[in-house]
Amino acid sequence: MSRHLQQFNKKISEIKLPEKFTFPFYYEPHALTEIATQELQQYLETQSDFSHNFGLKDGQSGKPIGKMFGVLVVQKPNKELGYLAAFSGKLADKSLPNKFVPPVYNVHAKDSFFAKGEKELNAINKQIADLEDHPRFLVLQLLVEAKSRFVSEEIRKGKEQLKATKKERKNRREEAEQTLSPDAFEALQEKLKDESLKGQFLYKQVVKEIKKDLQEYQEELETFTSKIKALKQKRKRKSKNLQRQIFENYAFFNQQKEIKRLTDIFPNFEEQQPPSGAGDCTAPKLLQYAFQHDLKPISMGEFWWGISPSTEIRKHKHYYPACRGRCKPILGHMLKGLDMDENPFLKNPAADKKIPIVFEDDAFLIVNKPPEFLSVPGKQIKDSVYTRMKATLPFATGPLIVHRLDMSTSGILIIAKTKESHKALQSQFISKTVKKRYVALLDGEVEGDEGYIDLPLRVDLDDRPRQLVCYEHGKQAKTRWKVVERKAGKTRVHLYPITGRTHQLRVHMSHPKGLNIPISGDDLYGVKSNRLHLHAEHIEFQHPSTKEKVQFTVKADF
């Protein structure tokens, strides 16, 4: 154990221990966590124990990939403090340096069942590749494709010929009916019937003959495709069985030494497998080691080290909470019995806040939504602008809420009093005729004075409500920006959202392909402070009743 349990280099005797363990999904790092993090980061800057390109230095080989690291401050039975360190996933050189706790289960251990299973799968993959790359298989695919086109074209021509001769016989029949005697006409009828039968017979014979070569090619091709199909089914079965074995070997402890496997934590894995990398994140690794070695968890923190990924936003050295998709189900078991900090998502941050009314007439209201105030009721917290307005306007008709602001964003919201005004206002949002302006304070100095950002967004399915930049499945998201002021290392900007995606402005500011500078106080994409410095300060639209242009401005308090 001593090789993984790190001793603090800095004096910590006067630092008071936290009363409760860190709530892993939203936290501010304790002083002990910060010291442990600083010491681990110093090690990462100077280490030579492993080789991994984090994208921080020029000239390194391999694809640059950032990684999540974590520290867990622990207490030994004799009350002595230390800390554990871990990283998510695996390092590029697949090493397991002594500085870090081992994985919950090392699938890459030599002579493991996984290594054997992987070898078998690789052998099947080679068989499939050999068949798919076989010269005769490739030629047969081309021959069948070409012959199929030829047969289709000949059939088309044959059908057109049958149709043409049928029409010609019809014309002869109609003409003969007017000129021939009944006996002669009947004889012609028989003759035309014989011609029709003969034409159809010849057509079928031709079709049969031209399909003969195609069938021979298809049958030969089928010998390849059936073998490939059988091998792929075999690969699928082996892969599924191997995955099940892996899941069953991921056995997680908690403080009571109770064990749960991934197959117990994700019981529906037959239909939907656990997220990729489940169990390989830093938090499960750290807690697993602590519980196995009778170390009491005191506080924890995770931080990103290296270049940001191309999709999600991760800033070098910034703290981040444990992910929800992979870690929440696992940590739900592992943290059982630990006295933890209160879950802030269950607390209503708007309980003592009021909603200032900026304007009101018979059709609508303009309110100034405070920060950390829901626009509509959430799953855990029902208090919102909607519920407050419902109580304030008991006789109002219609849905009230015309548009929304993120919980952390402050500023102008339109509240419709009637169905008619709601419909008229919402149609303006749908047609994008409403003009909006936000003001934001960014944690850095922006290069350039104005610009345009076009980065498509979608939700991070493994870590809601965070958003990802995704060119394949993301929805179009566009923002125009303009610098207002640069002061004390920060930049005040005006933001003009052309679309209205969730967290659009926050992601567009922080993402490397956007301005690459997070909004001050952004606890998801930047660094938490007293509040998110993003405010909806101006709006212009057509009055739903008078049809006149109206505009409202509410200055930010930052």
Question: How far is residue 83's CA from residue 7's CA, in Å, rounded to a whole number?
Answer: 7
Any catalytic annotation for residue 406? yes
Pair 324, 25: CB distance under 8 Å: yes
Q: How many helices (H) and strands (E) does the chain have?
A: 10, 17
Comparing CA positions, the residue from 497, 469, 467 lying closest to residue 481 is 497
3-class SS at 123? helix
- Type and span of the H or E element at 129: helix 113-132
Question: How far is residue 131's CA from residue 134's CA, in Å, rounded to a whole number?
Answer: 5
Buried b (16+ CB within 10 A) or exposed e, 90-103: bbbeeebeebbbeb
Residue 151 tokens, joined: 């047969």
- Which residues, at least 6 apart from 308, have a Cβ–Cβ distance to it below 8 Å? 66, 314, 315, 316, 511, 512
**Cβ atoms within 10 Å, residue 15:** 15
How many Cα atoms are found within 13 Å in the side-chain-facing hemisphere of 117?
A: 19
Cis peptide, bond prior to residue 465, ω within 30 of zero: yes
Pair 44, 305: CB distance under 8 Å: yes
CA angle 287, 290, 294 (to 5 degrees): 140
CA distance readout (Å), 56 to 37, 307, 521 = 18, 7, 25
Residue 246 tokens, joined: 């892996």
Q: List the catalytic residue out of 58, 183, 406, 462.
A: 406
Question: How far is residue 533's CA from residue 372's CA, in Å, rounded to a whole number?
Answer: 11
- Which residues, at least 6 apart from 68, have a Cβ–Cβ distance to it below 8 Å? 87, 88, 281, 282, 302, 303, 304, 305, 314, 320
Residue 336 tokens, joined: 């059982």
CA angle 56, 61, 65 (to 5 degrees): 50
Question: How far is residue 338's CA from residue 356's CA, in Å, rounded to a whole number?
Answer: 41
Catalytic amino acids? 406
